[in-house]
Chains A and B, each alone.
Chain A
Amino acid sequence: MAEVIVITSGKGGVGKTTTTANLGAGLAMNGQRVLLIDTDIGLRNLDVVLGLENRIVYDLVDVVEGTCRARQAMIKDKRYNSLYLLPAAQTRDKTAVSPEQMNKLCCDIDSEFDYILIDCPAGIEQGFKNAISAAKRAIVVTTPEVSAVRDADRIIGLLEANDLKNPKLLINRLRIDMVKRGDMMTIDDIVDILAVELIGVVPDDEKIVVSTNRGEPVVADKRSSSGQAYGNVTKRIMGEDIPLLDLDEQDSFFNKLKRIFGLKVT
């Protein structure tokens, strides 16, 4: 039976889709059978982040409306054999799917996968309700900014009200140099405010943009700090006890590089 996990945040642009793509690829790299469902109907993006935009024939709405079978709409990933994507429809809106339909869909394909990751749209309306309806676990993505943390708090409240207890927190785009200057909230500040368990911290990394440009999840790049961080989150999802990435060490490495090139070290 598949474990259904929703990736949500409330606020847009904090990295839900990037996180879904990377965790999916990470789980597949660990031999898990993974299905990613994009529920952002009308604003689909998981397909381009994964580089599968040219292979879409059917979508989520086609499946729930019975135009095709779920299997026909699933796109097999280019790199990982056990990773599949069920894309959202682009020409419809969130009302094209109901929470009951999402629930039924996940029950139907439950036995074929180890993990089903659901990429939730921003907001707390219909799209959010659809995305969380079938989920048993939730990962809340936030960035170290007041707006994102505030929305994360609201989402955590809504998840708990919908019987999704103990959501896990993923802090994205942390900049250790800014944290050191006292210009960005620390991991502890955010965890303390939201009072939920942390599942990982992903540093702000240019490699994310570069890999998204190519349509390849950064998790495959073990030299990148963000790739390592996503790799660690993947293992934690699978139940392994992995310590947090030492971002401090990486910072000093970059600072060393900066010193070599005579740049100002912050």
Chain B
Amino acid sequence: MLFDELFKIFSRSKSTKDVARDRLKLVLVHDRAGVSPQFLDKVKNEIIKVISDYMDIDKRELDIQLTSTKNDSGDGVVPALVANIPIRKVKNIKQFDKIPNANAKEKIKSG
């Protein structure tokens, strides 16, 4: 499936109407949500901050975008935040598993 997506993106045979539709969908998500790229950048940095406490992530490959998805009843479209975050290494997972309040402790330590 991923290959299919990649193939679509790189193939020259994609019709211009598909290009139009996809561009339009993306621009409308931003229009409808009233979200600026700066706002998205802020969200991205906050997410990095939180996740970095638990995992070692590849910040350069990180990709966060607003798209749209069908709502639960399937008759409308709602905005969705899609994040693709490549993980290099999970930090001390055992510590978090065993001690219920490790989370809080860890934060105090690092803070």
Contact = CB atoms under 8 A, between A and B. Distances in A.
A4 B31 CA distance: 29
Contact of A195 (B17, B23, B27, B77): B77
Nearest to A147: B24
Interface string B53-74: 0000000000000000000000
A193 B15 contact: no
A193 B17 contact: no
Contacts of B21: 185, 189, 193
A185 B17 contact: yes
Contact of B17 (A153, A154, A157, A189): A189
B15 to A, nearest CB: 3
Q: Which label, helix, strand, loop or mixed, suits the secondary structure of the B interface?
A: helix
Nearest to B77: A195
Contacts of B15: 181-183
Contacts of B110: none
Interface in B28-57: 28, 31-32
Contact of B31 (A145, A150, A182, A195): A150
A35 B27 CA distance: 37
Interface of B: 15-18, 20-21, 23-25, 27-28, 31-32, 76-77
Given A153-B32, A182-B18, A185-B21, 18 more contacts: A150-B27, A154-B31, A157-B32, A179-B17, A181-B15, A182-B15, A182-B16, A182-B17, A183-B15, A183-B16, A183-B17, A184-B17, A185-B24, A186-B17, A189-B17, A193-B24, A193-B28, A195-B77
